[in-house]
Amino acid sequence: MEPYYYQKMNKPQQAAYHAMQQGVLALADEIQLPRIPAEELYDVFFRLRLDHPEIFWVVSYRYRYYQDSPNIIFVPEYLFEKNKIREHQKAMQSRVEKLARSAAKFTEWEKEKYIHDFICENITYDKLKKPYSHEIIGPLGQGVGVCEGIAKSVKVLCDALGVWCVIAICGNNPEKGIKYRHTWNIVRIGGQYYHLDATLTIHWENIRAMRKHPERSATTISIWEIKQCSGIMNR
């Protein structure tokens, strides 16, 4: 099945997506892409990283072009040196495979609960919002993350366990009183689509700890989110 956000693109955008993906996987210094408008280039880069959060080592880019050329030169900006990227890739792959093995024979519901509970019991929200906290290497490698890194980690684990999952984004809109962008997940279980926000549960757990309400557990929030928020996507 083709990645969710890839399906929403036109042919030139899909061509740029493929070339960009192959280039960053190869840790290329420069990648030739079919020329598309700057705003579309940003969208392709952004959506590629939503479809493939396992690509955690490239977080920004530059580009250049020549007036009469049908192509652009895409220059990825990597989060680490290439040798360090390869080390982190091996560590992340091993980490995800180990976590997935423990739940390989679970039902879809059990897999969702396993992923949710692992995230909420092992990840701390990074109030400093360090760059790596926005990628899977924060939650899965350092035990800290922000909503973006947490949602990406949920998707990586869902992908490894065969649970359909996408990353959802809500943009900030100061005019409507929405100060911050937020990222969470939508999963499909039993043919139905549901919202899953592990970051919300982490925040709730922090509040619970401060207020000393032990009767409200992470699992309680997980089941409420999954069974009551039931946000069905229009595909």
Within 8 A by CB and 6+ apart from 137, the residues are 56, 88, 92, 149
CATH architecture group of domain 4-78: 2-Layer Sandwich (3.30)
Q: List the CATH code of the domain at 89-228.
A: 3.10.620.30
Q: What is the pLDDT of residues 144-189, one digit of tens each?
A: 999 999 999 999 999 999 999 999 988 666 566 655 678 999 999 9
Say how far apart CA 89 and CA 116 lie, in whole Å: 23
Domain positions in the chain are 4-78, 89-228
Q: What is the pLDDT of residues 100-151, one digit of tens each?
A: 999 999 999 999 999 999 999 999 998 888 888 999 999 999 999 999 999 9
Tally DSSP H helices, then E strands, for the chain.
Answer: 8, 8
Instruction: Please say if the pLDDT value at position 200 is more than 90.
Output: no
DSSP character for 142? Answer: I
